[in-house]
Amino acid sequence: MEDPNRAEAERLLGISEKLLQTRDLTGSRDFAILAQETEPLLDGSDQILAVTDVLLAAEKRMNNHHDWYSILQLDRRSDDQELIKKQYRRLALLLHPDKNKFPLADQAFKLVADAWAVLNDTAKKALYDNELTLVYEGCCLRCQNCQRAFHAAVIPSLPPVVPGQDAYYCCWGFFPMGLWLEIRIRIIIIILIIIVILIVMQRRPPECCGGGGPN
């Protein structure tokens, strides 16, 4: 007797493949996830997800360059060479044209190889990281964890890692971005009020002093 879950997963995977042929990457990814959730052991869903994830990451541009870290599904500016190598090998295995026959797999495989060529070369990686730094330097950004705003600046090295967590220590100045913005808004409001008062006073007609003369 045929497993109904497997039959449904195969149907969903078929839809995912058709959407991939039309380059509907988001739709293809959604159906591949549904197929994987329906039948985790079904072959092909992880291959389609590898294709869509890489191609979606390739659509993001950083200073007119590909985001090689995102293509390898890494945190930006990772210096962990073992992790970079691990991600490259995992994706290369899933996307190799000899094993992955789904549409656009060859394009995704080439992108992964190009990302590896940059991030595995010390000189190329340093140059690329410097170009990424120039993109963010001087910008107002928001932390993905605490949602606080901060001003991007160049630092000599990465801050220490929080023990037991996938996060870095960070510190805040005496005037966080939100507070400084609020102060500036209040100052502008006060200045506008003063200007309005001065305009009103200038337009007010002078008061006439009335008085009776001697009879």
Question: Taking a C-beta distance cutoff of 8 angstroms, is the pair 20, 104 a contact?
Answer: yes
Q: State residue 62's pLDDT score.
A: 72
Question: Taking a C-beta distance cutoff of 8 angstroms, is the pair 48, 30 a contact?
Answer: no
| Nearest by Cα to 150 from 168, 128, 165 | 168
| Nearest by Cα to 47 from 115, 112, 96, 116 | 96
Q: State residue 158's pLDDT score.
A: 58
Q: State residue 177's pLDDT score.
A: 45
Q: State residue 36's pLDDT score.
A: 93
Q: Where are the domains of the chain?
A: 1-136
| Nearest by Cα to 91 from 62, 70, 76, 77 | 70
Report residue 132 as tokens: 């990424």
Q: State residue 169's pLDDT score.
A: 55
Enumerate residue ranges in the chain where pLDDT < 70.
1-2, 63, 76, 133-182, 205-215
Pairing type for strands 149-151 and 140-142 reads antiparallel
Contact residues for 133 (Cβ-Cβ < 8 A; gap 6+): 154
The rounded distance, in Å, linking the Cα atoms of 180 and 153 is 17
Q: State residue 176's pLDDT score.
A: 45
Domain 1-136 has CATH 3.40.50.12780: no
Pairing type for strands 61-62 and 65-66 reads antiparallel
